[in-house]
Amino acid sequence: MEDLKNLIEKLWDDRSHLSSPGSQDAIREVVDLVDRGVLRVAEPDGENWKVNDWVKKAIVLFFPIQQMETIEVGPFEFHDKIPLKKNYAAIEASFSPETNKEFVYTGSYSLSDLFTYQSNSYSIGSLLLSPTRSYIPILNVILNNFRSKIDGIIHCTGGAQTKVKKFISGVRVVKNNLFPLPPVFELLKQHTLCSPAEMYEVYNMGHRLEIYTSPEVAEEIIAISKSFEVDAQIIGHVEASPETEIIINSSLGEFKY
């Protein structure tokens, strides 16, 4: 293992050798050992945690040596540099070795089970594993046409529907025309301990991207989005307020943040 560590450190300092088969084999070996739980980026060390920097470096070096490839899994398609993991249950590498086996796989559903919502049935796998939407092509057109007329763009991750509050002052954002709740969030509402108010702070609730602009420009942006077959609508408005706050009025109730 020490020889492997030394080689990774050398490759990190001098990347001119990354193209050699031996170097790439070493990097892939480290990634494989991490996948199988033999190596860890961080591991317990008494009462503290030890970070294995050289393992982190190997993972970073893995990306420039990998080629993008299309991977098909049932009805889903992924385009990535990282191969999908396999045989996790057998090698027990999808959870920390310190985890009590009783809590490794828990929940009311398996991926093949069906969840019924508003008379429609969905497999749990299709709800949880559907590919992530990329907004880059849509935003490219929008910014080329309306960059100077846009006051803000929020990707609702890491703060969800309340994320915008981190970037405003002396205004109230009112969201009172949200899209219907997607079935996956109804599933989460039924099977988690989150209250509806907390869900809007944690999950995007079906609204992944917000653009702050005038109503007139909003209509133009909506037309652009729909040209990519991505639905869009005006979901609310911004108004002056002595308090900086978010108000969400939805099918789940009214919530103030």
String of DSSP letters for 69-116:
EEEEETTEEEEESSPPP--HHHHT-SS-TTS-GGGTS-SS--TT-EEE
Top-confidence residue, 133 or 54: 54
Q: Which fold has domain 2-103?
A: 1.10.166
Cα 218 → chain centroid: 26
Which range is most confident: 46-50, 68-72, 150-154, 190-194? 150-154
Reduce the DSSP state of residue 36 to 3 states and report it: coil
Least confident of 8-17, 162-171, 180-189: 180-189
Report, as an integer, the average pLDDT of 40-66.
91
pTM over 0.95: no
| Identity of residue 72 | E
Report, as an integer, the average pLDDT of 248-257.
95
- Residue 71 structure tokens: 């991977």
Q: What is the pLDDT of residue 37?
A: 80
Strand intervals (E) in the chain: 42-45, 48-51, 69-73, 76-80, 114-117, 120-123, 150-155, 171-175, 209-213, 236-240, 245-250, 253-256
Top-confidence residue, 45 or 132: 45
| 165 DSSP assignment | G
Q: Would you list the domain boundaries of the chain?
A: 2-103, 136-256
Q: 31: pLDDT confidence band, cut at 50, 70 and 90?
A: very high
Comparing C-alpha atoms, which of 116, 111, 30, 42 is closest to residue 75? 111
Q: What is the pLDDT of residue 101?
A: 78
For the segment 215-229, what is each residue's pLDDT rounded down to a tens digit?
999 999 999 999 999
Report, as an integer, the average pLDDT of 210-216.
97
The yes-or-no verdict on residue 93 having pLDDT over 70 is no
Residue 122: strand pairing partners: 115
Report, as an integer, the average pLDDT of 242-252.
95
Q: 27: pLDDT confidence band, cut at 50, 70 and 90?
A: very high
The yes-or-no verdict on residue 49 having pLDDT over 70 is yes
Query: Is the separation of the CB atoms in 70 and 78 below 8 Å?
Result: yes
What CATH number was assigned to the domain covering residues 136-256?
A: 3.90.650.10
Alpha carbons 82 and 94: distance in angstroms, whole number: 16
Phi, psi of 163 (to 5 degrees): -60, -35
Alpha carbons 55 and 48: distance in angstroms, whole number: 18
82 HSE (CA, 13 A, CB side) = 11
